[in-house]
Structure 1
Amino acid sequence: MSAIYHDSSRPVSERVADLLARMTPEEKFAQMHALWLVLSEDGNHRERSDLSDEFAGVSTQAALAERLTHGIGQITRPLGTHIVDAQSGVRAANRLQKNLVEDTRLGIPALFHEECLVGLLCKDATLFPSSLNYGSTWDPALIKRAAQQIGEEARSTGCRQGLAPVLDVSRDVRWGRTEETFGEDPWLVGVMACAYVEGLQGEQGDILATLKHYVGHSFSEGARNHAPVHLGFCELNDTFLLPFEMAVKLAKAGSVMPAYHDIDNQPGHSDHFLLTTLLREEWGFDGIIVADYGGVSLLHQHHGVSHDAAESAALAFNAGLDIELPKDDCARHLAEAVERGLIPMAKIDEIVARVLGVKFRLGLFEHPYTDEHRIVLQSDAARQAARDVATRSLTLLENNGILPLRGAPKVAVVGPTADDPLALLSGYSFPVHLIISDMLEEISQVTTPLAALRQSLGEGNVRYAKGCHIIEKRMAGAPVFPGDASGKPMQQSPVSMDQSLIPQAVRAAQESDVVIACVGDLAGLFQSGTVGEGSDTDSLSLPGVQQQLLDALVNTGKPVVVVMTGGRPYNLQGLETRVAAWLIAWAPGQEGGYAIADVLTGYAEPQGRLVVSVPKSAGAMPYYYNHKLKSGGTPFAFHFGSRYPFGYGLSWTKFDYAPLVLLTQEVAIDGEIVLQLRVTNVGERRGSDVVQIYVRDKVASMVRPVQELKAFQRVDLSPGETATLTFTLPVDMLNFTRRDGKRIVEPGEFELRAGASSGDIRSTATVNVTGETRVLPVAWRMMSRCEISRQENSPSVD
């Protein structure tokens, strides 16, 4: 008779209990961590740390084989650790899985995880745009479709947990990981996060999305990676916890990853209140909590809150952690931690039960292997989704009428990012994350702006000059994950200051009708680039000598169209009013060149709207639109503020907003606010606008932001066409956190604002919320909604 845990018809709880009762302590400990291996089809797997010693294989292999006899919880990035063909990688993973399932005592399969924020981190996978691009579309349905395609690629290669999305709320764009965020508004981040989670996990829920970095990672001291965070719980809950709460409660995310920093001296990886009290007990999260890479070790290595690895393991697992990633630096000492009385076996059993429950629910016991013949990468649907995100996220900040380009102009395409495929990719894309000396083969699917413009305008109409370098030679050698970084000396900036290529670019400009100046930054981990994880900045000037290049180009008198790519917004140092146009493309991925060419030539509309403000200078940092009134100082500092605010973006046409109409002037404190707005396309071209609804709490018992986004809707209209937008906002969404940690809604007057951006408010109305102060229930209403109706006499939109 087979064991209960092998019977898929039995409830998961029964299968877990049966298997747990059969396990030795060593087999339980093994389920609480991962191994980071370079897998081989012949079974000669190696630990990643052994790669530097080619002669250390024999004894290491023997030790690894012995450890695997106890099973393993997860395998870290089987296809994303090194350059390997997907089929070969799957065969190697299957070889390891076969050993675990058929040759260990209990046959518990491993769960394979990969990075997948901007596409699966795997050779030949589709290279999607960055999270800033996702957010800039203001299109949750599109982001869900993109995540679905990422999920399909992940499933087909055996990945059952994706380490995405990032729910950090941008506060200071000097932070290198700004590129990984959906933007600076917590509610919009939550909306996009829910769409991404639903898309990645799919209806079957057979792959886990991982919410990170829990929590407040983006408000670090000085916008420096891993730096402390200074926040009280009220602001933490209202701004940084909100997206996580939405993705847990509404999208049922399967996993959460804590952050590296400490908040008010408490490291995230040992915070029992955040990991257990709030996440599990109050929100009802029932998934698994996995460590950020090296995060448990940092408890003793960096934070100094424990004496050694055994104590760090006990602190993290007692706080609520389920699995140490990427390997077992601290979990290998769990037996010692139990013996020292630092963690009870009852806690071990609780954790392992959760891990096993997830594996049963994912169907790993019934389907442990991956079919190498059914791998799907770079499908037409995936490439189209990537292109749609890239195109719809492009954001036009300036245009003196030169765009879209007309006729057949002679164009000089100039700049260091014009023909660099890596310039279109963000830090968690495969080629950037694994930078080596020669990545040409791995970036062949990327179409650069130069290549796309040559196709669109014709080879004979396009001149090219690089103009300058950002980094002359992309080098490996930076730490691969933060746990490697301790004790390493500070490296010098790799940014080039060479101006010798500028004169050639000026000549190309003088011989052309229009200049397309492609500038920006290069993603790279830990200062191997100018943006990305560990690549923070102290300036919002373009890296290197790109500003000098732009100055020289503008001084030619030729119209200059700036196309900026990268992971944060930069200033043009006064050229904003002198350039002919300015388009921000962020990191638009492998299809980004096509997207840029399509918008420049008018084939597509610039539909993007800013999700991070573009500050006047680095001195304005931290800056975000939903600041408090006194954030600018008294008097307001001259350098405070943003020339291009949150929600801003130009189109090919213009829109008129009629006055905002409230259907009822008073609303009960547990009711809904309904408001209507008519929008008309008063231009000569069809186009779309993103109508944004903000709220200002006129008087509250605690200080509130000057305004907060509560609803939005894109509307597409033909010239002269009018649409009526009816927004419904649950009063629950007007909440804030009281000193006792409760989310409350107070009665009183709230100003509703309709606008084309946070800085372009077209109409306001005031609603009076009546009743007694209300403490929100666990299942409070987090989403607004909008219905669109079109006038019968409006032109057809077919």
Structure 2
Amino acid sequence: MTYQDPKAAIEDRVQDLLSQMTLPEKLAQMHALWLVLSEDGAHKMRPDASNDFSGGDPEKVKTLFAHGLGQITRPLGTFGVDPAAGVRALNRFQKDIIEGTRLGIPVMSHEECLSGLMAQGATLFPTPLSMAGTWNPDLIEKVGAAIGAECQSIGAHQGLAPVLDVSRDARWGRTEECFAEDPYLTGVFATRYVRGLQGADRKFLATLKHYVGHSASEGGRNHAPVHLGPRELADDFMLPFEMAVKGADAASIMPAYHDIDGEPLHASYRLLTEVLRDQWGFDGLIVADYIGVTLLETHHAIAADKGEAAAIAFKAGLDVELPSNECTPHLETALSRGQINMDDINEVVRRILTEKFRIGLFERPYADEGAITLRTPEALALAREVATQGTTLLENNGILPLGDTAKLAVIGPTADDPLALLGDYAFPVHLINSDATTDTDNVITPLAGLRAALGQDRVTFAQGCYILETRGSGAPVFPGDMADHESIKRNSPVSDRIDLIADAVVAAKAADVAVLCLGDLSGIFQTGTVGEGSDVDTLALPGVQQQLLDAVLDTGTPVIVVLSSGRPYNLGGREKDLAAYVMTHFSGEQGGHALADVLTGAAEPSGRLTISTPRSAGACPYHYNHKFKSAGTPIARHFGSDYPFGHGLSYTSFEYSDITLASAEVPNEGGTIEVAVTLTNTGDRTGVEVVQLYTRDCMASLVRPIKELKAFARVSLAAGASAKVTFHVPTDMLNFTGRNDRRIVEPGGFDVMIGASSDDIRLTANVDVVGAVRELPQNWRMESDANITML
């Protein structure tokens, strides 16, 4: 048959197979199953599966995939499974599908991979905030490639990453999953991560999520409604997705849970079909966020039953229901009611089959048990390099780098807890919600890293306090669990014990320097202080950490605060009392070594913030690229940031000089702004500077931000050395969404600002863009570049 002929054209194979499929066989391709797989074929439903009719009987489970299956959900990433055993079980399931169904259509396997493959034994990379803190897109492309290689080695075909939500409200628990508060920087990292993850041949599917605007929810609360106009949505939140689709050929998209102005994303034909497919040319798969289709009935209440929910989602543009089959089988009923038609179903199945043929799944359905490659030396070295480059120095009174003889007291709840270095989609952390654990001995904590670098005799330890004394699934309350949400009162699980502070004070007094490790414990659905569903109403440190900080500072011993967190926090106004302030975010399993390298001067601090630290939760949502009137009139006292986007210090100093424009007048059509500056290392040691270019539209037909990042470059210079940094910014990048909801570039004057952060502008020039107002074509120039010439 044609569909079994690997030499036949993909479209011919798809048409041949589609023409032979029955309705149940087609519907089977449109959903996944979340099973516990077995090497002997005795596959079972997950213990907490809401649709488990089998009573644990594997023979009954087999009826669920008697007609085939589109995807298998996280076969190695749901529980602690030995990778080789997991691959054998996955291969057995694949064999059952291929040999036990009429047409033998292989199943796709997907896993989570936000900060590394989320499975036992995989490399635990830093979270996206730490990755982006490197301001090194080439490095992150290597990370994507390493993660993709680990995923494919255990038989996965699709990874549910990266997250392209643009961080705007630090109260939101998923802030840690974002790259940045800036849409352009997010888009740059997204394209590089996707290119690395998918590879040049796109044989592995990256999944862009959460499309779109998920991070702009009411009050920073998970799943809450989003209130965005179409232009703000397009310019601030859709841009990274557009860049990854057009610039990296992203193979999959995942809609978000929320609604925008009353329209749930899983039901939006405009966003899923008209924008993604028709306007952007997206040709991959749109997969549901877990139970996102079900929520159209149960939470959003725009569908009368599961059949109608499925019909609405698939007609809007969805291709695969994840993680299981709650709604898709009910499409037969929806079909009989006229809520969906066979043309709609055939188009969906056509896209699914096309992707399966394109990645070679029919020819290579099985994973090679002997080719599993996890935690290679190269991957570990890469994880350490990212953690090192992402470490950001916010304050330094000269105490850093540490001297050769200083005795340290390492203090605090994140100093020696392996989970304090990991994000919510790291395997050990994700297991907490299932009340399961896995080995974390490979995670290098700050205490372990400093002892390895300085020796046991120079480093003492005091716990100081706890954030969470016990970790478990707890008892989160979800919408629908109770009729009246407003009446719910929850007690915080965060520890309020202060009895350990006295020992910390003693340790600090006996040391030359106190390294105080503060921050978060990540965990989904309130199993942590940050992470998916772990939202807050304050930016004060969780628990009694502020009391610990105050007590240690009051000893008079110089204090270096190391903040390992998933969001920025305020330190009770004590930031300027610190000897140094270092932010690592969640730096992964090599984070302790990376921190020690930076604190001792073995590595230069080169990280820069990609989200601002608001002065208070009252300033949220806060972002550097706000509108002129965002501060209020008069300016609100709580507005602004002491540690803004782009900020980060070095162990040396840099001077900016000689800004020059190749031309002060640039044509709108096909024009490029070329601007150069001279950068000089004026200190006494080698250092890295991140040179940042911002623009401001001096006058436009619609209100524009006060500044927007358009280019950047990491520059390493020896002491006394200089370099010429030349940026090329296409005029296309000066666009915004006009009154007709199309991207336009208007002529006029633009300020070009170059500096060390969004709040530290060193040089400014002005350029005139001349010509008519121009609407951008589909494939517009989306990125700038930079050339570095040593002088």
Same fold (TM over 0.5): yes
Q: Which amino acid aligns with 2:678?
A: R
How many Å separate the matches in 2 of 1:520 and 1:116? 23
CA spacing shift, 1:439–1:314, aligned 2, 3 Å: closer
> 1:316-335 counterparts in 2 under 5 A?
316-335=313-332
1:307 aligned onto 2:304: yes
Alpha-carbon deviation of 1:776?
A: 0.4
The residue aligned with 2:495 is 496
> 1:353-432 counterparts in 2 under 5 A?
353-432=350-429
The residue aligned with 1:675 is 675
How many Å separate the matches in 2 of 1:451 and 1:728? 44
The residue aligned with 1:713 is 713
| 3-state SS in 1 of match to 2:439 | helix
How many Å separate the matches in 2 of 1:280 and 1:744? 20
Alpha-carbon deviation of 1:50?
A: 5.2
How many Å separate the matches in 1 of 2:118 and 2:617? 32
1:512 aligned onto 2:511: yes
CA distances 1:563-599 after superposition (whole Å, capped 9, x unpaired): 0001001011111110100000000000001011111
How many Å separate the matches in 2 of 1:370 and 1:783? 37
CA spacing shift, 1:360–1:491, aligned 2, 3 Å: farther
Is the Cα contact below 8 Å between 1:479 and 1:525 reproduced in 2? no
The residue aligned with 2:278 is 281
CA spacing shift, 1:277–1:441, aligned 2, 3 Å: closer
CA distances 1:434-461 after superposition (whole Å, capped 9, x unpaired): 1179866421110111111111111111
Give 1:179's match in structure 2, choosing from 160, 176, 180: 176
Is the Cα contact below 8 Å between 1:294 and 1:483 reproduced in 2? no
1:192 aligned onto 2:189: yes
Q: Which amino acid aligns with 1:768?
A: D
Q: Which amino acid aligns with 2:610?
A: V
Alpha-carbon deviation of 1:476?
A: 2.5
| 3-state SS in 1 of match to 2:124 | coil
1:137 aligned onto 2:150: no
How many Å separate the matches in 2 of 1:641 and 1:706? 13
How many Å separate the matches in 2 of 1:699 and 1:53? 57
* Structure 2, gaps ≥5 residues long: none
How many Å separate the matches in 2 of 1:485 and 1:731? 52
The residue aligned with 1:25 is 23
How many Å separate the matches in 1 of 2:55 and 2:324? 20
| 3-state SS in 2 of match to 1:763 | strand
Is the Cα contact below 8 Å between 1:675 and 1:728 reproduced in 2? yes
How many Å separate the matches in 1 of 2:63 and 2:95? 16
Q: Which amino acid aligns with 1:697?
A: D
CA distances 1:668-723 after superposition (whole Å, capped 9, x unpaired): 00211111100000001100100000000000000000000000001100111010
| 3-state SS in 1 of match to 2:583 | strand
Q: Which amino acid aligns with 2:20?
A: R
How many Å separate the matches in 2 of 1:53 and 1:77? 17
The residue aligned with 1:787 is 787
> 1:596-611 counterparts in 2 under 5 A?
596-611=595-610
- Structure 1 stretches of 4+ moved >4 Å: 49-54, 56-60, 436-441, 477-480, 482-491
CA spacing shift, 1:128–1:353, aligned 2, 3 Å: same
Alpha-carbon deviation of 1:659?
A: 3.3
How many Å separate the matches in 2 of 1:131 and 1:173? 15
The residue aligned with 2:343 is 346
How many Å separate the matches in 2 of 1:426 and 1:59? 33
| 3-state SS in 2 of match to 1:10 | coil
1:568 aligned onto 2:581: no
> 1:677-692 counterparts in 2 under 5 A?
677-692=677-692
Q: TM-score, normalization: structure 1? A: 0.97
1:37 aligned onto 2:35: yes
Alpha-carbon deviation of 1:381?
A: 1.1
Alpha-carbon deviation of 1:64?
A: 1.9
Identity of aligned residues (%): 58
| 3-state SS in 2 of match to 1:694 | strand
1:462 aligned onto 2:459: yes
Q: Which amino acid aligns with 1:11?
A: A
Alpha-carbon deviation of 1:477?
A: 4.3
Alpha-carbon deviation of 1:63?
A: 2.9
> More deviation in 750-759 or 56-65?
56-65
1:748 aligned onto 2:753: no
Is the Cα contact below 8 Å between 2:435 and 2:473 reproduced in 1? no
The residue aligned with 1:65 is 62
The residue aligned with 2:640 is 641
Give 1:16's match in structure 2, choosing from 14, 26, 29: 14
How many Å separate the matches in 2 of 1:229 and 1:59? 41
| 3-state SS in 1 of match to 2:658 | coil
CA spacing shift, 1:244–1:437, aligned 2, 3 Å: closer
Q: Which amino acid aligns with 2:715?
A: V
Give 1:7's match in structure 2, choosing from 1, 5, 10: 5
> More deviation in 439-448 or 272-281?
439-448
CA distances 1:191-249 after superposition (whole Å, capped 9, x unpaired): 00000000000112110000000000000010000000001101100000000000000
How many Å separate the matches in 2 of 1:200 and 1:386? 15
1:256 aligned onto 2:270: no
Alpha-carbon deviation of 1:69?
A: 1.4
CA spacing shift, 1:398–1:745, aligned 2, 3 Å: same
CA spacing shift, 1:134–1:628, aligned 2, 3 Å: same
1:164 aligned onto 2:161: yes
How many Å separate the matches in 2 of 1:712 and 1:364? 40
CA distances 1:620-677 after superposition (whole Å, capped 9, x unpaired): 1110000000001001101100001100000010000003211101010021111110
| 3-state SS in 1 of match to 2:413 | coil
The residue aligned with 1:47 is 45
CA spacing shift, 1:169–1:437, aligned 2, 3 Å: closer
CA spacing shift, 1:69–1:441, aligned 2, 3 Å: closer
1:206 aligned onto 2:203: yes
The residue aligned with 2:237 is 240
Alpha-carbon deviation of 1:62?
A: 3.2
Is the Cα contact below 8 Å between 2:433 and 2:527 reproduced in 1? no
Alpha-carbon deviation of 1:42?
A: 1.2
The residue aligned with 1:559 is 558
Is the Cα contact below 8 Å between 2:476 and 2:526 reproduced in 1? no
Q: Which amino acid aligns with 1:18?
A: D
CA distances 1:539-571 after superposition (whole Å, capped 9, x unpaired): 111000000000000000000000000100101
| 3-state SS in 2 of match to 1:473 | coil
How many Å separate the matches in 2 of 1:83 and 1:198? 29
Q: TM-score, normalization: structure 2? A: 0.98
CA spacing shift, 1:611–1:417, aligned 2, 3 Å: same
The residue aligned with 2:616 is 617
How many Å separate the matches in 2 of 1:678 and 1:385? 31
CA spacing shift, 1:291–1:599, aligned 2, 3 Å: same
The residue aligned with 1:737 is 737
Q: Which amino acid aligns with 1:402?
A: I
CA distances 1:406-431 after superposition (whole Å, capped 9, x unpaired): 11211100000000000000000000
How many Å separate the matches in 2 of 1:596 and 1:163? 29
CA distances 1:294-324 after superposition (whole Å, capped 9, x unpaired): 1111111111111111110000000000000
CA spacing shift, 1:236–1:121, aligned 2, 3 Å: same
Q: Which amino acid aligns with 2:698?
A: K
Q: What count of residue pairs does the alignment treat as equivalent?
A: 787
Is the Cα contact below 8 Å between 1:437 and 1:474 reproduced in 2? no
Give 1:125's match in structure 2, choosing from 97, 122, 132: 122
CA spacing shift, 1:212–1:52, aligned 2, 3 Å: closer
How many Å separate the matches in 1 of 2:545 and 2:479? 33
1:694 aligned onto 2:694: yes
How many Å separate the matches in 1 of 2:79 and 2:436? 12
CA RMSD of aligned residues (A): 1.6
1:450 aligned onto 2:447: yes
Q: Which amino acid aligns with 1:771?
A: G
Is the Cα contact below 8 Å between 1:478 and 1:528 reproduced in 2? no
Q: Which amino acid aligns with 2:80?
A: I
